């Protein structure tokens, strides 16, 4: 995706990037929370350095 959250999260969790991206897309389509979660994780990524 745009901000690199999927790659960062895959390194932290040991999951594949593809499965994380699919989870984000599914959460956006079904729950509407994926975009907010993505932005929160981006903030965590930026400020955890």
pTM as predicted:
0.72
For the chain (49 residues), the mean pLDDT of every run of 10, in chain order, is 83 92 86 81 87
> For residue 24, how many C-alpha atoms fall within 13 Å in the half-sphere facing its CB?
22
Which pLDDT value is given to residue 1?
Answer: 57
Q: Structural domain boundaries of the chain? A: 5-47
Summarize the chain as % helix, strand, coil (round to 5).
Answer: 75, 0, 25
């Amino acid at each position: 995706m745009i901000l690199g959250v999927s790659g960062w999260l895959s390194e932290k969790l040991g999951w594949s990037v593809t499965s994380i991206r699919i989870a984000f897309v599914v959460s956006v389509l079904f729950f509407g929370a994926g975009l907010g979660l993505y932005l929160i994780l981006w903030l965590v990524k930026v400020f955890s350095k």
